[in-house]
Structure 1
């Protein structure tokens, strides 16, 4: 019975426990259900302003993402990480325009935004973007006049300054404005660190707008130069003179480099003819004349004129040969000098091959290539490299020949940058040779025991340089200094200077008084110093001489004292002042001007004696 009682007690307790647990579980479930019912309350969104100022620019702060909608089940349009990247971006496309503003029922404020490139549109927490000033006024360029390297990138506003208005202006499509000059009046920098200029055409004020500064250049652009050349050119049709119905070619030519002479309103006939001949170089045709049909002033045209030029097809009568003068150059006293007593006899010049002869012939307006001729005919091993004549052997000197050629006004120094066969037919090319005697032993032809032959050609080369400079100086234009600069550059190149020539003069041991050309060159290189001829300065110098140094006229110290006092003064003027103020030849004894009252007559006489012993060089400044 006790056993049965225990079992009943156990079962009762178990049932009671189960009931308690069931009650607790039921209460918990009811509580959760209540909580769920409260959380399910819907969050709403209300637009507070649907017409925001669209000229305001926003930039990402990098703190929040962009969503497709502000509340509810939404998706990410731009992640927070991407927005952080846009916060540091200089790309205009990464800026935003906010066109709506709203707030959720929880009080969270959002902007509805669109990126400048219109690829992103959505909602962002209002702390996720911030307003920025996207227009910074900057200084205009130092030179506000220039050209546009690109002429189809005009905007109504600096590109990227704000969301709207970033489209290109097409107002000037089809207009030829490549040659126009533009003036900058405003400069602005935008978010992407690009600077934009507001430019206006100087040729047409209606052509204006904002352009990227990288497209503005103070240097004339190729397209502008080409357009300007076309505008300033004379438009030429070349017609065969033998068949006036045959158009050979056409071209725009630029007489006188496209500019009239001062005061002129048209090109001269010489300017126009020179431009035509240049255009016809190597064309196979030569200039025959200008047709005046329809244009009586065709021979002296204006910019933009249309002119018909008659040309003749080249034939055998147009072929001319290049002409040469073979200059003998001897080694005398260790340097080159023209050989006046003997030269290369014409009959001793070797015959050329047929190909070489043809190379020295060409149509008058074909270009002549001196370097090719030198390499094919005069170079080592070629026909005219070594010539034996009159018991001597002559060896071609390439450097001397080319320097003389390039300095000659008829050839390399003609200002045309081109030498034609007509040039080398009418003017001889001087081919320079060194003359060696006694079995070609050059050292045996010198009488100077100090000639430098340890370094081959040192003294000779220096002399050749000096002579080439003298030739170039003679043929150059301008004043003495300009001619000297031209001569030095022709011999030594752009890095040459006065010292280059002075060093060669010293090394060559040339007598610079040998002829007028050398004298002229030396005079320009070493101009005579200018001496003071001001009589007041000279009187002061004379009066300032220490009178104790004029006790006699023979003591070296006294002479040196007078030299020092008169340093830099013109000796002839000094003597004139002495004669005018100190009558040292008067029959009644020496008489002196009152302005030199500190000197006795004896001192005046000694001073006069010292001055008469001096040379102008004694008074040269150090």
Structure 2
């Protein structure tokens, strides 16, 4: 009985021992297994070749993700959000790497805005971006504009020059903090890109006044002409006022010269030029003349950037004088001079000479103002000059030809209204009319009836 008891005790102890060994084995197998990272290697390839974008498949860690102690810097969800972002700040720059004992490559990266920095899984091949990141072109080449010279639209601290479009390169920096001092400078464009994520267009420019100043600028910050503030500072601003009422007729007229400098006095040549311009039809308000043409409105004491007030008086009404008539030559396609001696107007009784005089007397407007093409057409029709009849002469050039009935022969001409001028002003004395031949006609004796032959 004792022997059986001893056997039972031995068996029980053996069972307990085996159970303890099994338990110990289980605990060891369930412990987390960590990878070990190799030494840190700095990436030395061209910086621009190490621009990468997150793919959104892996998180960003303080250490290679499978190494003990690695903490999450940006979750997989955050990295996915950066992957789909439309902002260049979400790109990364890779600058170092570590490879674990399991063959996984982790890259040390930093976001372009510096907000995120850490290690991300990059595949199994050192020097190749895969896994959680991929190579990225932060800009895309664009067409360089045909217009090469531009000016700053709004000089200042906004939209200044950069050594690379902002956030398209790590630590992209401003070339100059403010462009205020460059307000009057012109710039030459030599290349163009768009920011790949945003699609915004940037030009690389060089200051024509100081070629040491060059960089990238948002295309929308440029314009083809000087901004109005700078232009007025290098001009004389002319304000025309009605001499009888004192009311403004035309204001803000800018007159400048190639050598104009803000605040500088006008040269004697500039004085002559500006005074002539003030009096010219190019700048004078339409329908007005200088109240005193002998006045000198600027002198050598006048400085660029100042303004002058110029009194003007309204012009009287005036007509338009017809100076010549032409007929389209169907063979040559050119206009030949058309003599209207003895010609009749469209009614068959009024002479063209009389009809032209009527046109000048009846169709009038303020001298110097523009007569519209449609207005001219209507007035010429009212004066019976939309159609004219020119005598047909014999070989002697004097005797008028007749038909078998003895009726005088004429060539009918119709006015080409599309050839009428569009900018002729009232008071002009050089209106030319163009006609097209429209067949042979005879004037029935004793009447004003024209009959086609």
TM range (shorter): 0.5 to 0.7
**Residue of structure 1 in register with 2:364 after alignment:** 361
**Residue of structure 1 in register with 2:403 after alignment:** none
* Higher RCO structure, 1 or 2 (CA under 8 Å, sep 6+): 2
State the Cα distance separating 1:308 from its structure 2 match: 3.1
* Counterpart check, 1:397 vs 2:410: no
Q: How many residues align?
A: 380
Contact kept in structure 2, 1:61 and 1:127, CA below 8 Å:
no
Contact kept in structure 1, 2:61 and 2:70, CA below 8 Å:
no
SS in 1 for 2:270: coil
Q: How does 1:149-548 map to 2 (within 5 A)?
A: 152-159=158-165, 160=167, 162-166=169-173, 169-172=176-179, 174-175=180-181, 177=183, 179-182=184-187, 199-204=205-210, 208-212=213-217, 221-224=223-226, 230=232, 233-242=235-244, 247-254=248-255, 265-266=269-270, 268=272, 272-273=276-277, 276-282=280-286, 285-289=288-292, 295-296=298-299, 306-314=307-315, 318-324=316-322, 338=338, 342-344=342-344, 348=350, 360-374=363-377, 376-378=378-380, 384-386=385-387, 397-399=414-416, 403=419, 418-423=423-428, 426-427=429-430, 429-430=432-433, 432=435, 436-438=441-443, 440-442=450-452, 444=453
- CA–CA distance in 2 between the matches of 1:440 and 1:183? 68
State the Cα distance separating 1:52 from its structure 2 match: 9.5
**Residue of structure 2 in register with 1:541 after alignment:** none
SS in 1 for 2:26: helix
Contact kept in structure 1, 2:326 and 2:435, CA below 8 Å:
yes
Contact kept in structure 1, 2:112 and 2:170, CA below 8 Å:
yes
- CA–CA distance in 1 between the matches of 2:242 and 2:305? 23
CA deviation string 1:79-114 (max 9, x = no partner): 79959979xx99854542357877879897644533
Q: 2:31 aligns with which of 26, 29, 40?
A: 40
**Residue of structure 2 in register with 1:124 after alignment:** 120
CA gap of 1:197–1:118, structure 2 versus 1, over 3 A, is: same
SS in 2 for 1:373: helix
Greater per-residue helix proportion: 1
**Residue of structure 2 in register with 1:487 after alignment:** none
* Counterpart check, 1:113 vs 2:130: no
CA deviation string 1:568-613 (max 9, x = no partner): xxxxxxxxxxxxxxxxxxxxxxxxxxxxxxxxxxxxxxxxxxxxxx
* Counterpart check, 1:65 vs 2:33: no
Contact kept in structure 2, 1:327 and 1:343, CA below 8 Å:
no
CA deviation string 1:137-185 (max 9, x = no partner): x9xx89997325766533442234642234684322x4462x522357x
Question: Where in structure 1 are there 5+ consecutive unaligned residues?
Answer: 1-19, 407-411, 413-417, 445-622
State the Cα distance separating 1:213 from its structure 2 match: 8.9
**Residue of structure 1 in register with 2:6 after alignment:** none
The CA RMSD over aligned residues, in Å, is 6.3
**Residue of structure 1 in register with 2:3 after alignment:** none
SS in 2 for 1:35: helix
- CA–CA distance in 1 between the matches of 2:389 and 2:136? 88
- CA–CA distance in 2 between the matches of 1:338 and 1:109? 92
CA gap of 1:47–1:188, structure 2 versus 1, over 3 A, is: farther
Greater per-residue strand proportion: 2
CA deviation string 1:187-235 (max 9, x = no partner): 79899599987644233567x2411596799xxx433386786466432
- CA–CA distance in 2 between the matches of 1:183 and 1:325? 49
What TM-score does the superposition give when structure 1 sets the normalisation length? 0.44
State the Cα distance separating 1:436 from its structure 2 match: 2.7
